[in-house]
Structure formats: structure tokens, C-alpha cells
Amino acid sequence: MRYWLMKSEPDAFSIDDLARVGTEPWTGVRNYQARNFMWKEMAVGDGVLFYHSNAKVPGVVGVARVATEAYPDPTQFDPESDYWDPKAAIDAPRWFLVDVAFERKLKDVISLDVLRANAGRLGDFVLLNRGTRLSVLPVTPAQWRTILELEPK
């Protein structure tokens, strides 16, 4: 089993939204590297750190699981969608996603500040790399453990 971090803007879709709906198709990823993680590397049951970006306090706010195999993101075919991709075809999809299932909300946010303060323990962590804007990124088992140990009591 592998581990991941997935970013969402809470104004658009928050951990509370995920708690309410239970499972959510992770639509709208339009970055090839992020797509490839979902398409080629994720497996059902993988652990997901749910991260709030563009938030008052950016950071990890919950734990989720990969709930499905990858499948084509339906929004790419929908001209009404913000995520419509005119270059995508039903028989030649460009974008893939997985469904993400709620597991739990953390007692409090593990802020980006706290993550940075523990950068030494986290080692080489994609999230903290300079200029990283990936919205889906890998987390090592050691990083997963370390981050969840930082959860406020």
C-alpha cells in the first residue's frame, strides 16, 4: 500500500464536504504528473492525506483512502464544465481520476508551518520542495507516520 497527499481548496471542496458525501470523484486534475499518479500508481486502499490549500491555515486536515481504480474524468467530456477539455475524446481520454473515500477528520489542522518546522524529520518531501504546485503527490510510509504523529492531541 502506498500513501499520497491530495490538495483541495476548502472553498471548493473541504474535508467537511468529504465527510458529508463519504466518497468523491477527484475531478478536475489537469496536470500530467498528478494525473499519472492517479492513473498509473494509485491502488484501492492507498492512504491519502487530505490537504487544504488556499486556506486561512493551509495544511493537512484529514485522512482518506483511494476507493476506486482510475477511470476517465467525466468532466473532460462536458462542455458545460469548467474542466472541459476539447482535445479529449470518449475513446481517447486525457484525464483520469480516482474516487476518494473519507476516513477521518484530524482533531486539528497540521499546518504547513508545522510541517516546515519538521522538515528535518520528513526528509525529502515533495510538498515542501520549493515551488511545488502538484495537487496530487506521493508521501513515503515514514513521512505518513511522522505527519500523523504531529496531529494535535
Partner DNA sequence: GCCAACGTTGGC
Contact positions vs DNA (CB under 7 A)? 7, 9, 30-33, 53-55, 58, 112-113, 130-135
CB of 131 to DNA, least distance (A): 2
Cell, residue 48: 491519502
Strands 99-111 and 23-25, bridge-based pairing: antiparallel
CB of 84 to DNA, least distance (A): 12
Closest CA to 63 of 141, 131, 5: 5
For residues 30 and 105, which CB has a smaller minimum distance to DNA in the complex?
A: 30
Q: Which amino acid is at 99?
A: D
For residues 40 and 153, which CB has a smaller minimum distance to DNA in the complex?
A: 40
Cell, residue 149: 504523529
State the CB neighbour count (10 A cutoff) for residue 15: 22
For residues 35 and 65, which CB has a smaller minimum distance to DNA in the complex?
A: 35
CB of 10 to DNA, least distance (A): 10
